[in-house]
Chain A
Amino acid sequence: MNIKKYEIKKILSSPIVIVLMAIFIAFNCLIISENSYCGKELKVLNKIVDKVGYKIDDEMLSNFSELYNEKLNKVNEISSKKYNKTYKSIGEFLDENQFDMENKNGKLSKEEKQFIKEAKVIESYYILIDKFQSAYEKIDIRKLAEYSIKSYNLSGKAAETARKQYGKFEHRFNELKNNGEYKNLFFIGETYKMHSFLFKDIFTKIIYEIMIIMVLATAYIINYEFDNKTHLIAYSSKRGRHLIKDKLFAAIAVSLIVTTIIMGITLGVYFIVFDYSSLLNVPISSCFNWEYGEPYMSWWNMSFINYLFFIIVIVYLCELIFTMIAFVISKSVKNSYVVFFIFAIILGIGIMLPSYMPSSSRLIFASTFTPFTLIFNPSLRFMESGPLTTFKYYEVITIGAWSAALVVLSTICIKKFKTQNID
């Protein structure tokens, strides 16, 4: 136990690991604060949900319309006092009185402006319910499948497989439509793009940051004895060549610690800045969660908090996989300097691989089952995610297969090391 503790200490006490973590966390906070301007508007949805709930049904709609009319009346009250005029909607009011809203010396006081802005946000949610629901019902998965197959230039067997997967997804989509999973309020994807901000921008950064630290730390700890010329002593001790197991254990433990610290602090700051408190149980496939061409449609009925949880699990597992890859590399090249760059090359090849596969064979799907493709787009995990990765168990298969392969590989490395000439 003691040895393991000291091995972990070797990494965590080196200032560069701490400095890098601090820089990365500060960078993440900067990115979050740059986007915090819409935080106030996001809070409004929480207020709505607190009053009328997030599930869209008849009762909620009547409550919502009451709430909306109340706000509209109040705006009209203000307007009739100041302008002797009433409006049918708040948007109309804003169009006509833009000058007073934006100007400090206009007719409206600060509180009134604040109130009107909030009312406008409520109005947009109220109006958009109808629009999104009817648009959602018009989605045709088959059309989507053909379109995406065409845009990826798939043909032959590859196109067949993709069609089959989309066929399976269609079942899920019908289920999603029938059980009303999509009838829920969420931040308007079109305007705020919160889903891709959190799960793509922030999570991708987190994943790469931890990857950088972990590859460096793993290469450092595994080749430490050779780099410091202590290998002859260390490996002739009683623990001897079993030390390599302790080192692997230390690398894995550190990877968990680093992941927890970086992800924990970043997400903590994120959820302090952006208020999700009333929305944790909203299904992720809500029709409001619609940013680009098609909405986010998940394979399973997951709430936001579940989805977040599974993505966090994916990050932990992927970082473990990367640590193991770094372990295998550093066991086979020994030079701790080039490990980092060889890992970077493997990462680059992994990302490029699908685009070099023949687009008519099934090989192209095989090439996407890598952790490098998996982390490329964290916002689309467990979802309909284009013709190449829309498999129900894509994440499970990828992580399972790679972990199994890496466990085997590292066992081989450890076994081989026992009989290796270390001088």
Chain B
Amino acid sequence: MKVIFNEIKKIFNLKMVAILLLGSLIIYELFISFYIDYFPNGRPALDSYNIGCNMIKKYGNSMDEKEFADFKQMYNKKVEEANKYLSSREDCKKANIRTYEDFKNTMDSSDKNSCEIHNEMMNEDIFWELQEMERIVDHYEHRDEIVKKSYSNKNYKEKVEAIVNGEGLTDILPEIIQDDYNDAIGHVAILILVGIVFMLLPLFLRDNKNKVNYIQYTSKRGRNIFKDKVAAGLISAFIITTVQLSAFFILYSKNNVSMFFNSNINSFLNRHLYWYDMTFIQYIIMTVAGIYVLSFAVTLIAAFVSSKASNYMTAIGISVPILFAIGWLSDSLLINQLEVIYIPKMLAPIGYIVLITISIVLIAMGWRKEKGTDIL
């Protein structure tokens, strides 16, 4: 136990931690802060978010037909408000825009007057709101058709059928919220993996280079130190992942999306459908679990590389393509688009299992070699 503790102390030496912190800060600033500082990003994303919040407040996580009628009434009231506003303006009269209906019809018009009015109205909240509400009304009314039409592939026909017949589809989860989370967590996953590889590559290499390993072999624990080091690596990876994830989620809480946590991700407002009918918070937990699994797999691979490489150039050189490959996998399958309906349901679990198997086989090979290796 003491050996493991001391190995962990060796991994978290001050210089390495300082570089890890600085590097994480830079990666965070370059790739992740955008999804928090600029959420919701411009319009109509802002309106989508605001209206979504109000709907949750009023109707709860899902919207039934009665509540929808209420929402439509709200929409009609807004339209009237817009009509009043438009008819009160002189320049609108000139351009022959008297009602909101006129306003919509002249959207793509090349007439100079109406173009100007449309540009000016971009500053008025009400038209952005109306545009978004219209979209919600449309998506709610035609939700079955829209879903069936956009997901006509026969691979997932049954699942789409089940979603249409189920209750989750009427839940409220605007697409910007899930898109924002997916993009952010994908980058966080890569940040964590890079950090782990950086901290763990010296695990064996440092001692091997200093020839400390020969002294370790003669100790009572002997070659079993290999296992201790791997255990120390796994514990350190767990610590790094936990710290990074909690830092991210503390910052993510600034986005203020907790009211959507209990909405089904297969919502009529969401961009993609998913294989599982889970709530948004369950989805977040699933990605977090995925990140832990990935980080343990990467830990074992990094430990293997560290025990095999003869110098730091080789160690980093091998890790670079491996990290690129795993990063690509996490981006296209394992984290960012976890269980999206157009990727076969079993592909992600298979991906995880293959990755875990590879890493365990590698480390087992390393251990077998270590047991029989010659001391020169």
Contacts and interface: CB of A to CB of B under 8 A. Distances in A.
Partners in one complex: yes
Interface of A: 14-17, 19-20, 23, 212-213, 216-217, 219-220, 227, 336-338, 340-342, 344-345, 348-349, 351-352
Contacts of B29: 352
A340 B209 CA distance: 18
Nearest to A346: B26
Interface string B30-56: 100000000000000000000000000
Contacts, number: 59
B30 A351 contact: yes
B314 A227 contact: no
Contacts of B313: 14, 16-17, 216-217, 219-220, 336
Interface in B311-325: 311-318, 320-321
A337 B27 contact: no
B363 interface: no
With a 10 A CB-CB cut-off, give which of A17, A216, A337, A340 has the most chain B CB atoms.
Answer: A337
Given A16-B317, A340-B316, A227 B311 contact: yes
Interface in B59-95: none
Contacts of B233: none
A323 to B, nearest CB: 14
Contacts of B209: 227
A15 B309 CA distance: 11
A20 to B, nearest CB: 5
A337 B312 contact: yes
A185 B19 CA distance: 51
A349 B23 CA distance: 10
Nearest to A221: B313
Nearest to A19: B317
B314 A16 contact: yes
Nearest to B201: A337
Contact of B312 (A336, A342, A349): A336
Contact of B23 (A17, A220, A345): A345
* Majority secondary structure, B binding face: helix
24 contacts: A14-B314, A16-B317, A16-B318, A20-B321, A212-B320, A213-B317, A216-B313, A219-B313, A220-B311, A220-B313, A227-B209, A336-B311, A336-B313, A337-B201, A337-B316, A338-B16, A340-B312, A340-B316, A341-B19, A341-B198, A348-B30, A351-B30, A352-B26, A352-B29
B213 to A, nearest CB: 15
Q: Which 6 A-B pairs have the closest CB atoms?
A: A348-B26, A16-B317, A220-B313, A337-B312, A16-B314, A216-B313
Interface string B1-33: 000000000000001100100110011011000
The listed residue with most B CB atoms (<10 A of its CB), out of A14, A348, A351, is: A348
